[in-house]
Amino acid sequence: MQVYFDNAATTPLDPEVIEVMTTTMHENFGNPSSIHAHGRQVKTIVEKARKTIASLLKASPSEIFFTSGGTEADNMAIVRSIVDLGITHAVTSPLEHHAVLHTLEEQEKRGNIRLDFVRIDDHGNVDLTHLRELLSNNPKTFVSLMHANNEIGNLTDIKAVSELCQEFNAIFHSDTVQTMGHYAHDLSDLHIDFLTGAAHKFHGPKGVGFLYINGRNKIKPLIYGGAQERNMRGGTENVYGIVGLAKALEISYREMADHQQYIQGLKDYMRRELAKALPGITINGNEEASRSLYTVLNIALPKTEIADMLLFSLDIAGISASGGSACSSGSEIGSHVLQALNCDRERPSVRFSFSKYNTVEEVDFVVKTLKDLTENHH
């Protein structure tokens, strides 16, 4: 049995997405910047995709800019805000994705900003009182906090963060790569400046994403070139990717309520079964469903001799999951998220992440495999 439980890393393509992408590949090869019929046809397709995404997010099409993915979108929001919006101070959390952390750290290293880290509690939740303190002491602040953590699944109340940022006139950017397509985002109701998405996290293609830039912010491009993306990003558009992205988001919104219920059910079931099979496991991050991403379950197993080999052993058994321990073993650098949570270094952690394609049978198989692996090495 081959089982894929690493959907937070990437997801399989939805057949409907493949269909719309291949149709476009067959029929529409023009360059959207060309003014002849072949070009205009493709330009229309790109703009239709932009409208689809904007209407789902309750934003204006002029606020959606296509990128090569979440990383580029995060970089664009951070780097250009610092340069163009006169930012001198930034706040983030130690648990952010490296696309945000490394970009901000580099900006600090270059002397462009002062960087502060907001405090987090033992479960990895942002301390909003500390955030308020940091904002009240620093004008011209850029705040970057992700909606859901990609490793432990914690949800941050971005509505509360956006209200704090509004109060102190701070610029707010949220990496929503893990929640896009899994939760409804209403940008008409959220005081947010920048938000990012990547198609491959919700059954779309890799190599394409977008940056939402609230109309009140005027920034310059990160990538210069032609006049594509209304002069905001040079480079011929990834047309097939863009079409796939819009279709994938459309499907996600169409099926969201059902999938949320189904996947949350799988996650709860796996948690119960693991607790029965392996007494002594604990959850990394928030346990309550309302504060945790329903697609992610990160567990710390009891101490075992095979800690270093656990993911490898799961892989051999036909199970794809991802891990992370708080320490660095060999060349594998430990998880910065689990390190920040002061997790026990001797307990291996595994992240199982789910999609609509996973089944109860697969969960049973994983639980049995984990039980066998740990029992044989006690």
Q: Where are the domains of the chain?
A: 3-10+256-373, 15-251
| Residue 24 pLDDT greater than 80, yes or no | yes
| Interhelix angle 239-277/15-27, nearest 10 degrees | 160
Q: Which residues pair with 114 in a beta bridge?
A: 89
At 329, the pLDDT band (50, 70, 90 cuts) reads: very low
| pLDDT tens figures, 101-128 | 999 999 999 999 999 999 999 999 999 9
Structure tokens belonging to residue 370: 């984990």
- Please name the residue that has the structure tokens 């789910």: 354
Average pLDDT, rounded, for the chain: 94
| pLDDT tens figures, 248-292 | 999 999 999 999 999 999 999 999 999 999 999 999 999 999 999
Q: How many other C-beta atoms can be found within 10 angstroms of the C-beta atom of residue 111?
A: 7
| Residue 331 pLDDT greater than 60, yes or no | no
User: Which alpha helices (DSSP H) does the chain contain, by range?
Assistant: 15-27, 37-57, 70-84, 98-109, 128-137, 158-167, 228-231, 239-277, 310-316, 336-340, 360-375
Nearest alpha-carbon partner for 158 in 99, 104, 108, 93: 93
| Residue 326 pLDDT greater than 80, yes or no | no
CATH 3.90.1300.10 fits 15-251, yes or no: no
Question: What Rg value do the Cα atoms of the chain yield, rounded?
Answer: 21
At 378, the pLDDT band (50, 70, 90 cuts) reads: low
Catalytic residue among 128, 277, 327, 340: 327
What is the per-residue pLDDT for 163? 97
| Amino acid found at 110 | R
| pLDDT tens figures, 36-56 | 999 999 999 999 999 999 999
| Amino acid found at 188 | S
* Alpha carbon distance 106, 215 (integer Å): 27
Is 327 considered catalytic here? yes
What is the per-residue pLDDT for 172? 98
- Please name the residue that has the structure tokens 């789902």: 56
* Alpha carbon distance 199, 212 (integer Å): 14
Weakest-pLDDT range from 105-114, 154-163, 333-342: 333-342
CATH 3.40.50.300 fits 3-10+256-373, yes or no: no
Q: Do domains 3-10+256-373 and 15-251 have the same CATH topology?
A: no
